[in-house]
Structure 1
């Protein structure tokens, strides 16, 4: 149990490292955190399934400006943990993973408010002293530790003490409530896609959305088949635009403003 707790902490460290150490590679998404957690718990298949289901719920979630969604790292890890340990699948992931991710986000915000100003003040002090070495060390390590170490520790504690408690709670939940959670897990992907479409929807892409809907609904084409058609369509559009630009440059078909002529 202790070793698995450390490994869960390592998975969380990998997820939060995307924000502050390694750059944005989408490692923090549930579709990555789920399989890694499942691998630690010895059930990679279930980890992939739960991670994919949670990713569908989070597919339209993105940080924009001051808008901060739920913490995806903790949701992916703890949701997968409770889904596997309780044997209830995605319903348990929704019951415990998403609320706990809000708790982790609350702890992060409290850390930013009460602890971050302390190391920022230290950075200001080193800057006044023109001590660039201590300034860079404090800025990097102070910021890194404050930003994700509390969250990693909270995830480890939730895993260590929460699995038995979560199992008892799930068994105490009436079956009709659990069935409702299963239904909600089917609605969340549609909600996630709706959020994503709301952000990217433009009149130019509406025909492609209709085409994808027609292929799956009326021709009963698989998702993989639609993905292949989508890739081919993108390639056709890309190469046509490239050839059109090359032809325009070669023929010198460029519009000039008459006001610039002598």
Structure 2
């Protein structure tokens, strides 16, 4: 149990690491955290399913400016943990993973408000004294440790103490409530795509949205087929635009000559 708890901490570290260590590789998203957690718990298949299901809910979630969305690392890790431990699938991921991820987000915000100013003051001091090495170490390790180590510890504690607790809570939940959670989990993809459309929808892409809807609804083409069709359309547009730009450049050269 302790070894698996440490491995869960490593998975959480990988997820949070993209903010300071690996760059924006999108490894913090549930579609990555779910399979990694499932691999640790010995149920990779369920990890993939839960990660993909949660990803549909988060597909439109991005950090924009000062806005801080719900913590995806803890949701992906703990949602998968409770889904596997209780055997209830995505409904358990919703019941436990999402609320706990909100709690961890609150802890992160408290760290931003009360602890981060302390190491920022240290950074200011090192900058004023002309100590670039200390400034670099404090800005890197201070941000990493203060912002995300408490979150990793909370995820590990939630895993270590939460398995038996989660099973007890699930057993106490009436069956009609559990059925309602299953129905709600089916609405998550629609909610996620609605958020995505709200962010990117413009009149220029409405025709493509309608084409995708018609292909799926009336021709019954599976999602992989629709994705490949979309890829083909993108490639046609890309090469056509490239060809047009080349023709325009050649025409301008002829006019100059």
For the superposition of Structure 1 and Structure 2, which TM-score range results when normalised by the shorter chain?
Answer: over 0.9
Take 1:75 and 1:9, find their aligned partners in 2: how far apart are those partners?
14
- Following superposition, the deviation at residue 98 of structure 1 comes to 0.3
Could you tell me which residue of structure 2 aligns to residue 251 of structure 1?
251
The residue aligned with 2:82 is 82
In structure 2, the partner of 1:221 is 221
Once the 2 structures are TM-superposed, how far is the Cα of residue 128 of structure 1 from its aligned partner?
2.0
Pick which of 177-186 and 120-129 moved more: 120-129
Equivalence for 1:233: 233
How many residues of Structure 1 are paired with residues of Structure 2 in the alignment?
A: 256
Describe the SS at the equivalent of 2:65.
coil
String of CA shifts for 1:109-168, please: whole Å, max 9, x gaps.
111111111111111122222112111111111111111101000100110011110110
How far did residue 228 of structure 1 move? 1.1
Runs of 4+ more than 6 Å apart: none
Residue equivalent to 1:116: 116
TM-score, normalised by the number of residues in structure 1:
0.95
Q: Using the alignment, how far apart are the partners of 2:76 and 2:240 within structure 1? A: 41
Residue of structure 2 equivalent to 1:106: 106
Give me the whole-angstrom Cα distance separating, in 2, the residues matched to 1:193 and 1:224.
17
140-149 vs 43-52, greater mean Cα deviation:
140-149
Aligned to 1:141: 141
The alpha carbon displacement at 1:64 in A equals 0.9
Q: Which residue of 1 aligns with 2:41?
A: 41
**What does the per-residue CA deviation read over 1:161-206, in whole Å, with 9 as the maximum and x for residues that have no partner?**
1111011000110000000000000011101101101111111111
Q: CA deviation at 1:21?
A: 1.4
Shift in alpha-carbon separation, 1:130–1:8, aligned structure 2, 3 A: same
Q: 1:69 offset after TM fit, Å?
A: 1.1
Asked if residue 11 in structure 1 is aligned to residue 11 in structure 2, the reply is yes
Q: Find the structure with the greater CA-based Rg.
A: 1
Cα distance between partner residues in 1 of 2:233 and 2:95 = 40
Could you say which residue in structure 1 is the equivalent of 2:204?
204
Q: How far does residue 253 in structure 1 lie from its aligned partner after superposition?
A: 8.3
Q: Secondary structure at the match of 2:88?
A: coil
- The answer for the alignment partner of 1:178 in structure 2 is 178
**C-alpha distance in 1 between matches for 2:126 and 2:251:** 61
CA 1:90 to 1:254, structure 2 compared with 1: closer, same or farther past 3 Å? farther
For structure 1, the 5+ residue unaligned runs are 256-262
Q: State TM-score, norm by structure 2.
A: 0.97
CA contact (8 A) 1:74 1:101 kept: yes
- CA distance in 1 between partners of 2:171 and 2:191 (Å): 28
- After TM superposition, give the deviation of residue 254 of structure 1 in Å: 10
The answer for the alignment partner of 1:193 in structure 2 is 193
